[in-house]
Chain A
Amino acid sequence: MTTSFKNIFKNMDFKLQNIKALNLTTADGFTLFSEFSEGFNFEPNKLSAVTSSITALSQAAAKQIIKSGFKSTCIETESGVIFMVHTRYQNKNCILSLISGDDPNLGQIRYFLFNLAEYLKTATLSAE
């Protein structure tokens, strides 16, 4: 059974409470899917470009400085986090990112986002 990115966002929002955005982009910054909560204004393409650049730098740092594989990047702000993980969708390298609400639980975000990243590797999402 296929699901939509909108449903995934609703489900994630229910589990994590008040997330602001969920975005899936190709590794080179082309938005595939983007969902965000009402009242949260942002440009999905800007988020895609930013997460693409930051994740590439994180991957390079992990590989060339710590000599280890990249897993995730987190930007902590005064009003929540942007959490980014690597995934694949339809055989393309992608970045899945989540912008949390004001009171994030990092452990939960990490857990659910990694699970979703695994799911996306073999999924085909419907348009709606």
Chain B
Amino acid sequence: MHKKVAFIGSVGSGKTTIVENLSNIDPLNTDVEASEDIGKEMTTVGIDYGHIILNDEISLGLYGVPGQRKFSMVWNFVKTGLWAVVILVKNNDAESIDELEHLINYFEIKNGIPCVVAVTHSDATSADSTIQQIEQKLKVIGVNLPVYTIDPRKTESSMLIMHTLIALDETQQ
């Protein structure tokens, strides 16, 4: 069975990196030069697409979307037919944490879709405060989601998310 997973989150949270890292195929990449200072040289304006075969029964289409709200047109066509969502949050980044509620509402996470929140960029500083803020925010929004720290550059760390999504799906069935 082929399932569709979306990677969403603010600019620079690691969406392109995790798709590139997890994909079994050469991923489709739509990064362009950033013309404003966003803390990195390139930014996604279309879709990152990768593909991963988990086992004989399940393959996943990995869809990374742009972080900027102005590209919500792309969010709309990725949103259709989603099996699961991964929300990436940049450690110690207020904007990234604030964006969480908007994304949860936009992608209608409350409707029982398997979803994980993954905190990135936590190799230099502790993510404890970020996780605490996320958990408080989730409580206010009224959703109960697993929150992990991951390194999108590392396959083992990124795979943790995929296995969690499958476990969540099995629990919800």
Contact = CB atoms under 8 A, between A and B. Distances in A.
A126 B101 CA distance: 42
A82 to B, nearest CB: 13
B32 A93 contact: yes
A28 B28 contact: no
A23 to B, nearest CB: 14
A28 B29 contact: no
Given A29-B71, A45-B70, A64-B28, A52 B35 contact: no
A37 interface: no
Chain A interface, >50% SS class: helix
A34 interface: no
Contacts of B31: 56
Contacts of A53: 30, 45-46, 66, 71, 73-74
A29 B33 contact: no
A73 B28 CA distance: 18
Chain B interface, >50% SS class: loop
Contact of B45 (A52, A61, A92): A52
Interface residues of B, number: 20
B99 to A, nearest CB: 17
Interface in B57-88: 66, 68, 70-71, 73-74
Contacts of A57: 30, 46-47
Given A49-B70, A53-B73, A56-B46, A28 B33 contact: yes
B36 A30 contact: yes
B73 A60 contact: no
Contacts of B33: 27-28, 92-93
B10 interface: no
Interface string A41-53: 0000110011011
Interface in A14-46: 26-30, 45-46
A59 interface: yes
A56 B26 contact: no
Contacts of A52: 32, 45, 71
B54 interface: no
B26 A64 contact: yes
13 contacts: A26-B35, A27-B33, A28-B32, A29-B70, A49-B70, A52-B71, A53-B30, A53-B45, A53-B46, A53-B74, A56-B32, A60-B29, A64-B28
Given A52-B71, A57-B47, 13 more contacts: A28-B33, A28-B45, A49-B70, A49-B71, A49-B73, A53-B71, A53-B74, A56-B45, A56-B46, A57-B46, A60-B29, A92-B33, A93-B32
Interface of A: 26-30, 45-46, 49-50, 52-54, 56-57, 59-61, 64, 92-93
